[in-house]
Chains A and B, each alone.
Chain A
Amino acid sequence: MGKRGRNLHRDIILKFNFDSVRFMEYFFELLLGGLTRGSIYALIALGYTMVYGIIELINFAHGEIYMIGAFTALIVASLLTIYGFHGVSILILASVAAVIYSSAYGFTIEKIAYKPLRRAPRLSPLISAIGMSIFLQNYVRLAQTSDFLPFPSLIPEFGFMRDYEHIFSSAELVIFIAAALIMAMLTFLVKLTRMGMAMRASAQDRKMAMLSGVDVDRVISVTFITGSALAAVGGVLIASHIGQINFSIGFIAGIKAFTAAVLGGIGSIPGAVLGGFFLGWAESFATGYVSSDYEDVFAFALLVLILIFKPEGLIGRSKANKV
Chain B
Amino acid sequence: MINFSDIKKSLLISVWFMFLTFPIMVIRVNPIDKIVEWRWLNMILVGAASFIASFAWKHYFDKKEKGKSVKTFLKSGHTVFINNIADKKRFRLSFAFILFASAIIFPFIFSAYQVNIITTALVYVVLGLGLNIVVGIAGLLDLGYVAFYAVGAYSYGLLNHHFGLGFWAVLPAGALIAALFGILLGFPVLRLRGDYLAIVTLGFGEIIRITLENWNEFSSGPSGIANIQRPSLFGLELSLQSAAVYIYFLMIALTLFTVFVVKRLQNSRIGRAWLALREDETACEAMGINKTKTKLSAFALGATWAGMMGVMFAAKTTFINPASFTFHESAMILSIVVLGGMGSVSGVTAAAFVLILLPEYLRAFSDFRMLFFGAILVIMMIFRPQGLVSGARRAYRFNKADDKI
Contact = CB atoms under 8 A, between A and B. Distances in A.
B158 interface: no
A76 B214 CA distance: 37
B378 to A, nearest CB: 4
Interface string A118-152: 00111111111011111111111111110001111
Contact of B34 (A82, A125, A262): A82
Contacts of A122: 194-195
A132 B199 contact: no
Interface residues of B, number: 64
A63 to B, nearest CB: 12
B298 interface: no
Given A142-B368, A149-B31, A323 B214 contact: no
Contacts of B392: none
Contact of A321 (B25, B27, B281): B281
Given A68-B24, A74-B31, A297-B211, A116 B382 contact: yes
B122 to A, nearest CB: 24
A262 to B, nearest CB: 8
Interface string A301-317: 10110011001000000
B139 interface: yes
Interface stretch (A104-112, A180-188, A208-216, A218-226): A104-112
B16 interface: yes
B328 A130 contact: no
Contacts of B139: 123
B381 A128 contact: yes
B374 A138 contact: yes
Contacts of A321: 193, 281-282
Contacts of A251: 327
Contact of A135 (B34, B207, B283, B378): B378
B233 interface: no
Nearest to A252: B206
Contact of A134 (B202, B206, B331): B331
Interface in A62-103: 68, 71-72, 74-76, 78-79, 81-82, 97, 101
A6 to B, nearest CB: 15
B210 A142 contact: no
Chain B interface, DSSP helix/strand/loop, else mixed: helix
Most buried by B among A71, A117, A128, A145: A128
A217 to B, nearest CB: 16
B199 A131 contact: no
A57 interface: yes
A157 B143 CA distance: 43
A198 interface: no
24 contacts: A58-B195, A58-B198, A58-B199, A74-B29, A74-B31, A76-B23, A97-B23, A124-B381, A124-B385, A126-B141, A126-B195, A130-B377, A131-B379, A131-B381, A134-B370, A138-B368, A139-B24, A141-B370, A143-B28, A150-B32, A262-B196, A300-B204, A307-B200, A308-B200
Interchain residue pairs A-B with the least CB separation, the first 5: A131-B377, A135-B374, A134-B374, A300-B203, A138-B371
Interface of A: 57-58, 68, 71-72, 74-76, 78-79, 81-82, 97, 101, 104-105, 108, 112-113, 116-117, 120-128, 130-145, 149-152, 251, 255, 258, 262, 293-294, 296-297, 300-301, 303-304, 307-308, 311, 321-323
Interface of B: 16-17, 19-21, 23-25, 27-29, 31-32, 34, 36, 42, 61, 139, 141, 143, 188-189, 191-196, 198-200, 202-204, 206-207, 210-211, 214, 280-283, 286, 327-328, 331, 334-335, 338, 367-368, 370-371, 373-379, 381-382, 385
Given A131-B379, A255-B202, A255-B203, 11 more contacts: A79-B29, A101-B20, A120-B385, A126-B198, A127-B338, A134-B370, A138-B370, A143-B25, A152-B31, A294-B210, A300-B207
